[in-house]
Every structure is written in structure tokens, then in C-alpha cells.
Amino acid sequence: MNILQHKDLLHGLLKQGDVLNTLNGGMAMTYVEEQEHEDHKVLTFWAPSVPAEAFNIVLNINTLVVFSLLPSSADDAEAGSFNIPMFFRKFRLPAYIDVNNIEAVHEGDRLSILLPYKDTGVPIRRIRLREDRNK
């Protein structure tokens, strides 16, 4: 059998080799850092060599899901092909996060997701402790 006569088989083998090479060292690992600020929280993802289009950010009620898929070319829409996830992380958002104003910014090798706190309108106050004298 002359493998050059079977272009579909050859294309499939080359694509598989490319994917395995990428998964075994062609991409840098994504690093995540969480930072707390006075009025917001920031999730920062460092992902060298991962383009902005590869990231997906999904909010489902109070769960934030961030994942990235291995970039594929336009001709990869052939039957039997699928996207390969490179990174997947779920974050359970506390009730004090304002989910309606979440923002995401991609700059260079970094994706930042800003999670603003809700403005409750109630200032923080200290609770006074009193002694129970009925003992």
C-alpha cells in the first residue's frame, strides 16, 4: 500500500501527530492566581502562547467556568474531529459578587477576570459585645 495515495489517511495521521506533540510539550501550562481587593476580586490566568479566541468564560448562576480549547484551523471541521481542551477550571462565586458586572480582559499572555463586589449600601460596623448578667 502506497500511503501517498491515501491522502485522507495521511492527513489524519499528521493531524494526530501534531495534536500529540502539542499536548506533550507544545503549549505552556496555564497558571491561575486569585487576588482580593477592597471592592473586587481578580482572577488572573497566565497562558503563554494561548490566543484570546481559545478562552471561553461561562457564567451559570453562581458558577464561573473558564476553559480554553486547543486552537484549530478552519479546515478542521471535518467529520469525526473535535476540539481538545487545554485548561478547565470552575469557580463557585459567593453571594457578594455582582455577577451582572463581571468583566474579562485579555492582554498579552494574561487573561484577567474582574469580579466586583455588590454594593450593599450598608457600611461595615462593629458589633458590640455585652455581658449576660442573668447567669
Q: Which domains does the chain have, with CATH numbers?
A: 27-116 (2.60.40.790)
pLDDT tens, 37-51? 989 999 999 988 788
Question: Contact at 8 Å (CB) between 75 and 10?
Answer: no
Neighbour tally for 88: CB within 10 Å:
12
pLDDT tens, 56-95? 999 999 999 999 887 665 555 555 566 777 889 999 999 9
What local confidence, expressed as pLDDT, does residue 104 receive? 97
Cell digits for 134? Answer: 442573668
Q: Does 122 have pLDDT greater than 70?
A: no
Give 77's contacts (C-beta < 8 A, 6+ positions apart): none
Q: What percent of the chain has pLDDT over 90?
A: 39
Question: Contact at 8 Å (CB) between 15 and 77?
Answer: no
Question: Contact at 8 Å (CB) between 35 and 44?
Answer: yes
Question: Contact at 8 Å (CB) between 15 and 21?
Answer: no
